[in-house]
């Protein structure tokens, strides 16, 4: 979730002039917001899994309980002939997930637990602390995203660097083929798949996560009483919230794989220092002859 810088610091520009392939791609503000979002989402994920453990089921609808048959996802444990076993149930299809989901822990100290202790904050069951951590970093994420969005609209970054153009859409099939072949082009601008992925996260997934989070808060009912109705009920909002989390985790995994495939040193240098090495300019003999 990066942004493209359009200007170079004066001192650094002089140093970079010796190497035309080294450009100043990420501004300080870009790098700051990138790492703030990464940290916030990390703590929100692990604390959110702790909160989920308090009720490890997902439903569709406004209500839930024993009198309803609207469960679409559940993690739990049950006694069997082989002893306690953990399971994960998706749309009525049950899978044995003992040792990871439903029933986990050190050998001889296993206990019924939706997500294991190593995947939650805190590692022990503490719903109150998990809520405090989750809400704190949710506000950090929301505030940073709002400031970034306003600034991006004012300075034209959103329109210039993230909005796909007609040419981008025409190049989409080629970008898909290049990524499938792990053939990457290192340029100042984002390719079509990057624009679509970053745009989807910044303008769809993160706002949807914030909106569904607000819809689950009882205190917001008096402020935004129509929000729950719009989302199909609090239980549906909780299911959407969880689904968005899974999609963000998927984006993170793909994002990391692409960084490793495209050149981790160059990519990390870009988001840490701002400097990025692009591909050398293509050599054109006819152009050289004309200029000569």
The verdict on 269 and 179 lying in the same domain is yes
What pTM value is reported for the model? 0.83
Q: Enter the tokens of residue 224.
A: 């935004």
Instruction: Tell me the Ramachandran region of residue 29: left when phi exceeds 0, alpha when psi lies from -120 to 50, beta otherwise.
Output: alpha
The verdict on 94 and 197 lying in the same domain is no
The total domain count for the chain is 2
Q: What pLDDT sits at residue 8?
A: 47
The verdict on 92 and 225 lying in the same domain is no
Q: Is residue 290 part of a domain?
A: no
Q: What pLDDT sits at residue 68?
A: 62
Q: Is residue 38 part of a domain?
A: yes
The verdict on 206 and 73 lying in the same domain is no
Q: What pLDDT sits at residue 243?
A: 96
**Domain limits for position 76:** 57-114
Q: Enter the tokens of residue 228.
A: 């729950």
Q: Is residue 11 part of a domain?
A: no
Cα 24 from Cα 4, distance rounded (Å)? 9
Last residue of a domain, one of 114, 132, 148: 114
The verdict on 249 and 182 lying in the same domain is yes
Q: Is residue 7 part of a domain?
A: no
Q: Is residue 119 part of a domain?
A: no
The verdict on 252 and 133 lying in the same domain is yes
Share of the chain above pLDDT 70, in %: 87
The DSSP result for 128-194, as a single string, is HHHHHHHHHHHHHHHHHHHHHHHHHHHHTHIIIIIS--HHHHHHHHHHHHHHHTT-----SS--HHH
Show the low-confidence residues of the chain (pLDDT under 50): 2-8, 11, 15-16, 284-292
The verdict on 273 and 209 lying in the same domain is yes
The verdict on 108 and 133 lying in the same domain is no
Cα 37 from Cα 138, distance rounded (Å)? 10
Cα 206 from Cα 190, distance rounded (Å)? 20
CATH of the domain at 203: 1.20.950.20
Q: Is residue 161 part of a domain?
A: yes
């Amino acid at each position: 979730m990066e942004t493209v810088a359009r200007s170079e610091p004066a001192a650094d520009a002089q140093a970079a002039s010796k190497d035309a392939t080294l450009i100043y791609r990420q501004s300080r503000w870009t790098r700051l917001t990138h790492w703030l979002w990464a940290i916030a989402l990390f703590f929100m994920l692990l604390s959110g899994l702790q909160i989920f453990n308090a009720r490890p089921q997902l439903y569709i609808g406004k209500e839930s309980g024993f009198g309803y048959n609207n469960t679409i996802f559940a993690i739990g444990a049950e006694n069997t002939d082989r002893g306690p076993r953990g399971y994960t149930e998706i749309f009525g299809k049950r899978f044995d997930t003992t040792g990871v989901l439903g029933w986990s822990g050190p050998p001889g100290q296993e206990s019924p637990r939706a997500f294991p202790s190593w995947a939650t904050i805190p590692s022990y069951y503490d719903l109150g602390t998990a809520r405090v951590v989750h809400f704190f970093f949710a506000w950090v994420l929301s505030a940073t995203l709002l400031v970034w969005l306003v600034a991006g609209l004012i300075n034209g970054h959103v329109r210039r660097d993230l909005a796909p153009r007609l040419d981008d859409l025409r190049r989409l099939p080629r970008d898909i083929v290049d990524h499938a072949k792990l053939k990457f082009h290192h340029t100042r601008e984002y390719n079509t798949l990057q624009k679509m992925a970053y745009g989807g996260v910044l303008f769809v997934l993160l706002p949807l996560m914030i909106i569904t989070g607000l819809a689950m808060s009882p205190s917001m009912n008096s402020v935004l009483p129509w929000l729950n109705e719009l989302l199909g009920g609090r239980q549906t909002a909780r299911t959407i919230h969880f689904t968005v989390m899974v999609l963000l985790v998927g984006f993170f995994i793909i994002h990391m794989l692409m960084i490793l495939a495209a050149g981790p040193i160059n990519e990390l240098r870009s988001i840490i220092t701002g400097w990025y090495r692009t591909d050398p300019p293509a050599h054109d003999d006819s152009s050289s002859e004309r200029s000569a």
